[in-house]
A = this chain, B = another copy of it.
Amino acid sequence: MPTMTDNSLQALLPEEEIPTQWYNIAADLPDIPPHLHPGTKEPITAEDLAPLFPAALIEQELTKERWIDIPDPVRDIYKLWRPAPFHRAKRFEEALGTNARIYYKYEGGSPIGSHKTNSAVAQAYFNMIDGRMKVTTETGAGQWGAALAFATQIWDMSCEIWQVRSSYEGKPYRHAQMEAFGATCHSSPSDLTDAGRALREKYPDTTGSLGMAIAEAVEAAAKDPAASYSLGSVLNHVVIHQSIIGQEMLKQLAMFDEPQIDYLFGCAGGGSNLAGLAFPVLRENLEGRMNAKIVACEPKAAPSMTEGVYDYDFGDSVGLTPLLKMYTLGHEFIPDPVHAGGLRFHGMAPSVSYAKHEGLLDAIAVGQVEAFEAGVTFARAEGIIPASESNHAIAGAVRQAKAAAAAGEDPVIVIGVSGSGQLDLPAYTEFLEGKMADS
């Protein structure tokens, strides 16, 4: 391990310390309710999922094994940008006037600038292994689509993406990124699928939603025997892949000689970034080695855990997916087109929802104005312009740091900065010009 000094800002983890296994929270929370078949209402089986997913991903979706080996070819790709940086945010602490020690795990250095690449590479690989050389997917802000575009070209696969209309029109640089990596991208709802055509008729002026785009991508994959569907969040196997974030973070935190986390903040849309960072910490909590308060930061525009119900619901808008036990605003809920497109989802990962329901983590809702205010402070202090989504987690940490200052406390706070905001820059202008509103 590299030496750290009292003045070190970075924990430089050598690349051989990239995790060799993914962590599966289902081993430690075995009672997470299963997904149900939408017709029979029975627990979903591997056979049910076979039309959509390759065998290895189905196995990961259903298993309760704690550790899953990361194949060497996947780990070799991770080495292009991992271990991801973990920083002490000293200048941010000073800007906030807090005695809290604030750290952040930064996933914005990945090929597309967000954590989504972690699962995309794994999903592309397991599809390739099964000979499924085409994948379809949905994307909100565009991070997931771009991540899958990058990942599929590694193994010469093709990739077709439906992007939520508000993001497709508002974030043109993201199409360019998907295209730079060789994928094709449609605005959703499109006229290319039955689901899309029906949604366009029902909601002609819709700005789209993740649920709608999922319905289109699922339909396209189901109709093409050579294609798989690929999802960027929510499902267990996605959450499992993201566990490398938290595993690395715990090693890096130890390099700073910090034995404890008091508060951990992650943004939560579908839940994969929060879970990736937090579930390895939750395991520490469950085993009595830590007592970290884990806080999911939702957007006020899609507050599934703070205002939704914990019940079975569809993952998409039309009712094509398995039924998932989760906090949901209802699968027909269409969030306002706020800038954090990656958080505009009506539900929440079943594993995250279960942990919340069991009191193992908390959730707060953050408006986008508060989020961007925190993001600008962070950017000017730390030299990283965070993604719109990440700003919600930073805002949660700001609330806590200010509370700590008022209470004379000095907690250890860890923030998940899920991505870079370079492609969200127009939203920063809107905020700085005072034109941003909460929904």
Contacts and interface: CB of A to CB of B under 8 A. Distances in A.
A424 B383 CA distance: 20
Contacts of A10: 15, 79
Interface in A388-439: 420, 422-423, 425-426, 428-429, 432
Interface in A103-121: 109-111, 113, 117
Given A176-B428, A179-B432, A420-B422, A14 B12 contact: yes
Taking each of A2, A113, A179, A428, which has the highest tally of chain B beta carbons within 10 Å of its own beta carbon? A2
A182 interface: yes
A380 B181 contact: yes
Interface string A145-173: 00000100110000000000000000011
For chain A, the bracket of interface size reads 35 or more
Q: Can you tell how many copies of this chain the complex includes? A: 2
Contacts of A428: 176, 179-180
Given A9-B79, A173-B422, A420-B422, A383 B110 contact: yes
A172 B14 contact: no
A409 to B, nearest CB: 26
Contacts of A109: 109
A127 to B, nearest CB: 18
Interface string A82-101: 00000100010000000000
7 contacts: A3-B16, A80-B382, A150-B380, A150-B383, A177-B425, A179-B429, A180-B376
Given A177-B385, A181-B380, A423-B425, 11 more contacts: A8-B16, A9-B79, A10-B79, A12-B15, A117-B383, A153-B380, A154-B380, A173-B422, A176-B429, A179-B432, A180-B428
Q: 7 closest Cβ contacts across the A-B interface?
A: A111-B383, A176-B425, A80-B383, A180-B428, A176-B429, A422-B422, A173-B425
